[in-house]
A and B are shown apart, each in its own frame.
Chain A
Amino acid sequence: MRVSWDYSTGPLGGKTMTEDIADQIYNLQIKAYQLPIGETRLRLYEEALRIAEQSRDLDLIFPARIHMAYAAGAAGYEEKTMAALAWCLATFEDNEERFLEYEKTLLLLFQTFLSNISQYPNITRDKFEQLAGQLESLICRFGYSLRSVYLVRLWFAITIGDRLMAIESHAKYVSYPRDNLGRSVVSEDASEANLEFWYLSFLGETEKAIELASRIIAEKVSSNCVPHDTYNCVLRLLALLQRYEEADDYQKRGYRLIRNIRGFLELIGHQIAYLLHRGRTAAAIRMFERHLLWGLETFDLAARYRFYTAAKHLFTSLSQTKSTCKLSLPSSFPLYKESSEYNISQLIDWFDKETSSLATAFDQRNGNDFFSVVIPKQLKY
């Protein structure tokens, strides 16, 4: 699960945006802004940043890097966001007066990044606390609501499977007023509805989660992650209640929204699990083939874990009827075969090994068995 990488403004207007180079940057950003979320959009923002860097004008570089960081996060390249955010935070601390106009945008970027940070198992809980402390001190310094801090803590708790921390954080989170940070009200509504949906699902409040999901869909609540998350994550809940007509419809709509955005790799795992549950193995395999490259390349290890776990379930199920299968897989896959003929038990072993080592790393950090026990159960029903 990911927190939406969105904010309400278009290209950030810099005060020096008057010269040729600034126009060039601005035009690239406008072009990028009009594109759907994804790699091409990110590349245009990267190109704009590169031009800004050539100018060596910090007034151009700073906003260009914030832009790039958002686009990278939205496209599923949060490692790029991390590097950009680290630079922006440090530069902001050294030049606060100069970049004061970006304070909200930067805080929202920091908040969003931190909400998704559990995907790196080597970020210990102690490191998370340090980062949350840094966010809190910035939030307090600029007079914003601590709701953002507890929102981050709640996302962290949900994604590491810490029920107590989730309940405590949720209570605090709802007790502070909203302040939108850089988001529009609409985007804030969507983002908070999404968080509530995940929270209810996490607590096992199936009926309430479905009700909220139906409302999100009916009211066309929308942000970068909504209703993408909603369609895809309600599938299991609906399937458990055998509401297949809705679920089948949501599966199609949900996949259409996410199929071109690497940042939704985790949801592809949910899609594969649902297709397998419905006995649509061929469609599940097609989806696996199409997205395996994302799994191999991503730095989001939590998403990789879910995708690989769903793949392992898929091939385990397939192995009951056959021992080999023909697959179109990328050549960077370690078991890649020129012949396209794959031994299914070898595939299962490979995914088992990968998921086991990831689960160990995550569980060790989390101090529970959320990854090794709970998530695999959620992906097989």
Chain B
Amino acid sequence: MFPLASPDQNRFQVELRGLIELLSQHLYSGPHVFIRELLQNGVDAIQARRQIEPKHEGAIEIEVVTSEESDPTIIFQDNGVGLTEAEVQQFLATIGQSSKRGEATSRPDDFLGQFGIGLLSCFTVSDEIIVLTRSAKGENQPGFEWRGSTDGTYSVRKLTEMIPIGTQVFLQPSTGYEDYFELQRILKLTRDYGSLLQPKISLTSNGKTDVINAKSPWQQDLTNPQVRENLLAYGTEVFDRNFLDVFPLHSTSGGVTGVAYVLSEAVHAGSSQPHRVYLKNMLLSTKSHDVLPEWAFFVQCIVNATQLHPTASRESFYDDTVLERTRDELGDCLRRYLVEMAQTQPRRFEQLIAVHHLAVKALAADDDECLELFADLLPFQTSLGTMTLGEFRKQNPVVRYVPSCDQFRQIAQVAASESLAVINAGYVYDVDILTRLSRIRPDFTLEEFDAVQLADRFEQLSQREREETLEFERLADLTLQRFKCAVEIAKFLPSDLPSLYVTDGNADFFRSVEQAQDVTEGVWSDMLGDLTRDAPSSYARLYLNYSNSLIQRICQLGQAEGQRRSVEMVYIQALLLGHFPLKKSEIKLLNEGLLGLLDWAVGGQNND
């Protein structure tokens, strides 16, 4: 047995360099977040001072000092609460210790930080951090200087000279990070992260001062056309794309306010737009994907949340129940926007649907009320061209549809020639929308259209024609029996189409199983055999068009071999036209058939 270890308590050793690498490479999206962290600390320090002095006017001043002799220096100064000597020792010397932590109830809501690692982020761009600070707690507090280095050492010194209340942070770039200290880059980062923050923020360099603060774009009257125009321009600038419309967003859960921009071009279903999200007016992410419901892929939004919970990286939100409820409420805003537009501005809604019918279908598939309201305006591809469901229903009391694009392709040409209206519901959401509509609307008669039903509409042959073609039909039927394809002769439009090959979904499946059976053996062959036994059997059907002159001539050929070869080739051509994959046996047939046909045509030995 091993002796028990000594009960001495030892402290973990933390290697600061390693920790910084961990932060910069795995927690944060990049070193640039040091600006955000400094802003965050400054804002929180000002909030803390306001707890002592409610009328305190907070300000953050950033200065970039450049000279030809040395590296640039960033001086980041706030007039917040500052730190006492004890607080310097406690908060700046211990990683993970935050002056803002504590009971959730005692921490002000408007504090941004909470993890105690913000200042560390400066080590991702700088080998040394110098902090000068003077506390607002009590009168005539002395100032302190704290110097920390990436080697894990630090020193604290009491200052003899007076400094203003608040905190100043001095940074110089470490080798390779000089880019992050370029004025334009700092200006952009500060604007990105801090333009909506409350304290006055300014950036000075070479005697020129830029004010960072800007007005929250959504805190304006959107009914004012000029404001709306400006906001659209703002959206274009932020997202680098054009928008059709902009409307306000609000959610009590998560304390969210903001605006949603309607994309000016259609996007595919299931795509996800990146949203620009602020937390307590500080930019959290420009690529947030989880604040809106999944069907809302037609908008991009800019929102500020006050009560959602950030993850440690502060670049996304925790996916908790608050976010869930927020998403639902924001979804309601989008829904209301669409419903109101559909009710009060139908022309505009039609224009929106022309671009975003997929998104509206996604919503309708999710929500019965919207389905009821939007259904008639939704466009569908039909055998008579694209039209809205409302238009379709005006002309067709029964809504006939095929559930796949394959089936639609098979029947579309003939259906159109026969003036038969059939909807192609092979696109995303369509079947779901139609079947649900048939359940919620008593007057909505829906019928799945089987391609074989099309044959019911074909003109039958006259008795004389029937008698003339009977032998040929039997021969054709026999010829294609081994391909599980029945043959029927009928008259249909367009007359230049010699044949129509129709299958149901099962026939396609059987075809793929047969393809696999062609090349497998043993246990796989057994399994495939079991599969086809379990599935309802299915026969394809080849309709030969007696209105077509070629088919008529084949019928009248009077040469069995020529007729057989011709039927085989018509069959293969129908398969190819319908994009059906050829099985091995059909490829063989194609090769033999072509040669056989040539042989027969030039009067070879098989030409009886």
Please give the residue numbers on chain A whose beta carbons come within 8 Å of chain B beta carbons, in ascending order. Answer: 31, 34-36, 38, 40, 43, 46-47, 49-51, 53-54, 56, 79-80, 82-84, 86-87, 89-91, 94, 120, 122-123, 127, 130-131, 134, 220, 249, 252-253, 260, 299, 328
Contact = CB atoms under 8 A, between A and B. Distances in A.
A87 B520 contact: yes
A56 B515 CA distance: 13
Contact of B530 (A35, A47, A49, A120): A120
A235 B80 CA distance: 49
B116 interface: no
A127 B529 CA distance: 14
A86 B516 contact: yes
B404 interface: yes
B556 to A, nearest CB: 32
State the 8 A-B residue pairs at the shortest beta-carbon distance, nearest first: A53-B581, A40-B428, A36-B270, A90-B519, A87-B516, A86-B516, A86-B524, A83-B516
Nearest to A256: B294
B27 interface: no
A315 to B, nearest CB: 20
Contact of B513 (A49, A83, A131): A83
B268 A79 contact: no
Nearest to A129: B523
B580 interface: yes
Interface string B134-159: 00000000000000000000000000
Given A80-B509, A328-B439, A53 B519 contact: no
Interface string B521-549: 01110111011001100000000000000
Contact of A43 (B404, B512, B524): B404
A243 to B, nearest CB: 14
Interface residues of B, number: 38
Given A31-B268, A40-B426, A90-B524, 15 more contacts: A47-B405, A49-B581, A54-B579, A79-B509, A80-B509, A86-B519, A86-B520, A86-B528, A87-B515, A87-B516, A89-B524, A120-B530, A127-B526, A260-B432, A328-B439
Nearest to A88: B516
A342 to B, nearest CB: 15
Interface in B418-474: 426-428, 432, 439
B192 interface: no
Secondary structure dominating the interface of B: helix
A36 B358 CA distance: 13
A86 B269 contact: no
Contacts, number: 92
B520 A35 contact: no
B527 A127 contact: yes
A322 to B, nearest CB: 21
A127 B512 contact: no
Contacts of A89: 520, 524
Given A127-B527, A130-B523, A83 B515 contact: yes
Contacts of A123: 527
B97 interface: no
A235 to B, nearest CB: 16
Contacts of A260: 432
Nearest to A53: B581
A56 B588 CA distance: 13
A297 to B, nearest CB: 10
Contacts of A51: 579
Interface in B560-592: 576, 579-582, 587
Contacts of A82: 527-528, 531
Interface of B: 268-271, 319, 321, 324, 404-406, 426-428, 432, 439, 509, 512-513, 515-516, 519-520, 522-524, 526-528, 530-531, 534-535, 576, 579-582, 587
A252 B321 CA distance: 11
Contacts of A134: 523
A124 B231 CA distance: 66
B294 to A, nearest CB: 8
Contacts of B426: 40, 43
B288 to A, nearest CB: 14
Contacts of B526: 127
B579 A83 contact: no
Contacts of A130: 522-523
Nearest to A134: B523
B427 A90 contact: no
A129 to B, nearest CB: 10
Contacts of B428: 35, 38, 40
A120 B404 contact: no
A260 B362 CA distance: 11
A35 B523 contact: no
A54 B516 contact: no
B523 A131 contact: yes
Given A53-B581, A53-B582, A83 B523 contact: no
Nearest to B512: A83
A94 B521 CA distance: 13
A220 B318 CA distance: 10
B534 A299 contact: yes
B364 to A, nearest CB: 14
B581 A43 contact: no
Nearest to A40: B428
26 contacts: A31-B268, A38-B428, A40-B269, A43-B404, A43-B405, A47-B406, A50-B580, A54-B581, A82-B531, A83-B515, A84-B516, A86-B524, A86-B527, A87-B515, A87-B520, A90-B516, A91-B519, A120-B530, A123-B527, A127-B526, A127-B527, A134-B523, A252-B324, A260-B432, A299-B531, A299-B535
A40 B530 contact: no
Contacts of A43: 404-406, 426
Contacts of A328: 439
Contacts of A80: 509, 512
B597 to A, nearest CB: 20
Contacts of B509: 79-80, 83
Contact of B271 (A34, A40, A122): A34
A50 B511 CA distance: 12
Given A34-B270, A40-B428, A50 B581 contact: yes
Contacts of A253: 324
B321 to A, nearest CB: 6
A288 to B, nearest CB: 14
A123 B270 CA distance: 36
B405 A35 contact: no
A328 B441 CA distance: 12
A85 B270 CA distance: 27
Contact of B531 (A83, A84, A90): A83
Contacts of A79: 509, 531, 535
A346 to B, nearest CB: 21
Contacts of A36: 269-270
Contacts of B405: 43, 47
Nearest to A252: B324
A271 B511 CA distance: 36
Contacts of A40: 269, 426-428
A47 B270 CA distance: 19
